[in-house]
Copies of this chain bind each other. A is one copy, B any other.
Amino acid sequence: MHIQSMISSHPHVQGNTNDALIRAVQEACDCAAVCRICADACLGETMVADLVQCIRLNLDCADVCAAAGAVGARRTGSNEAVIKSMLEVCADTCATCAAECDKHAGMHEHCRLCAEACRRCEDACREAAGTITPSQH
């Protein structure tokens, strides 16, 4: 909600927002936070040795989501090619992380919630990427 109103007040936007992109930025910020917490919660489980791959994919996903959210929120200039690529990589990274978290979702609620956040972010990034047609340079 804050991200929506902030981007709407940007001088280059003038109320003419790309709502799919705003949703992707919001989901990427949320997903980054959720993935970081899932990594830490996995570290706190007694069966941590079985969750090593999950932790690593959580951390990768957090880093990629944070970058996608930051790049997607910048409206000054016209770096559409980079925004589109980052959204696509972010969607793929979220899909990989969700698939791993799903394996542990029955046992660990944090993995179940993290898989959900990753799927929401994946969907939002794919939809937003579809709205962007990089101009030829």
Contacts and interface: CB of A to CB of B under 8 A. Distances in A.
Interface of A: 2-3, 5-7, 9-12, 25, 29-30, 33-34, 36-41, 43-46, 48-49, 52-53, 55-57, 59-60, 63-64, 66-67, 69-71, 73-77, 79, 81-82, 85-86, 88-89, 92-93, 96, 108-110, 113-114, 117
Nearest 10 interchain pairs by C-beta: A67-B67, A9-B109, A11-B44, A56-B77, A6-B37, A9-B110, A10-B41, A63-B70, A44-B76, A85-B89
Contact of A56 (B7, B43, B92): B43
A61 to B, nearest CB: 9
Contacts of A59: 39-40, 59, 70, 74
Contact of A40 (B29, B73, B114): B73
Main secondary structure of the interface of A (DSSP, over half): helix
Given A56-B76, A63-B67, A63-B70, 6 more contacts: A2-B117, A9-B41, A40-B76, A48-B48, A59-B74, A85-B92
B79 A71 contact: no
A39 to B, nearest CB: 8
